[in-house]
Amino acid sequence: MGLAATSSCWIGTSWKMTKTLAEARRYAAGLAETLQARPELTDAVQAFVIPPHTALAEVDRQLQHVQAQVLLGAQNAHWEDAGAWTGEISVPQAADAGARLIEIGHSERREHFGETVEITALKVRAALRHGLRPLLCVGEPASVRDADEAEEFILAQVRGALAGLDSAQLARVLVAYEPIWAIGEHGRPATAQELAAPFAALDRAYGAQVEAVLYGGSVNQDNAAELLEIPGVDGLFVGRSAWGLDGYLELLKIGASHGRAHRGRLDG
Ligand code: PGA
């Protein structure tokens, strides 16, 4: 699992629609400086950062000496390579700006921008066609969870987006399970107990095939360690708690100690 053979856990953040260019530059410069001074922070962690499109190239520039430690991602990209698609950017354009990963199907994109399962499938293929990793986000609304249909719902989202991929393609896909009711400032953090069944279902169906399965939704410095212990969770995808550099570094520390302990268990 992971980019490097030693990676035990993925810790990443999407900045969503936040940060000016100057703020993005400051964060990325600070991250690069810290990772160069303390490379052990990513010994057992694959870090990733997903800025808004406007900051991609600048963040890429700031992270150039720590590229092996931090993957740069884009929050969205169109499935066509180029053309008359006003307001969109393509996977080759995102890659040109430095992205090596494309976030696809976040619940905010599904809800506000009409991103359907069919569209997520097109975007997954576009990312793979250009050698980038798709980070497919799935998750159910509260009503589906209350009806006890969460597993079925998220497996259908994953199945639809990944249909027809061969094993080499699947091995480059990241899946993030983010229950909609747990995301954002109106979200309620999910408990480890609530997450056990969906992760067991994802693990059974895709755990051995995809590169990693992550958890996202109100992750913070207090619950991260416990969330990482849930069977089937290979890492965390974080919004608000990682928008400040100190918050993200704290989460990397938690990931690193989880990774080391996990490796210790494997060694022992
Ligand atoms: P949050 O966002 O950590 O701020 O809840 C998570 C996400 O939307 O990926």
pLDDT digits (tens, 9 = 90+) for 127-185: 999 999 999 999 999 999 999 999 999 999 999 999 999 999 999 999 999 999 999 99
The correct answer on CATH 3.20.20.70 for the domain covering 2-267 is: yes
pTM, 2 dp: 0.96
Q: How confident is the model at residue 265 (pLDDT cuts 50, 70, 90)?
A: low
**Stretch 250-263: mean pLDDT:** 92
Domain boundaries, the chain: 2-267
Q: How confident is the model over 2-58, as pLDDT tens digits? A: 454 345 799 999 999 999 999 999 999 999 999 999 999 999 999 999 999 999 999
**Residue 106 annotated in active site:** yes
Residue of 170, 99, 179 whose CA lies nearest to 137: 179
- CA-241 nearest atom, ligand 1: 3
CA of 268 to the centre of ligand 1 (A): 35
pLDDT score of 6: 44
pLDDT score of 9: 95
Q: How confident is the model over 177-222, as pLDDT tens digits? A: 999 999 999 999 999 999 999 999 999 999 999 999 999 999 999 9
CA of 254 to the centre of ligand 1 (A): 18
Residue 90 half-sphere exposure toward CB, CA atoms < 13 A: 13
Best residue for ligand 1 mutational test, from 11, 138, 178 (most atoms within 8 Å of Cβ): 178
Catalytic residue among 58, 103, 115, 178: 178
Do residues 53 and 91 make contact, with C-beta atoms less than 8 angstroms apart?
no
Best residue for ligand 1 mutational test, from 219, 220, 243 (most atoms within 8 Å of Cβ): 219
Residue of 51, 58, 52, 56 whose CA lies nearest to 25: 58
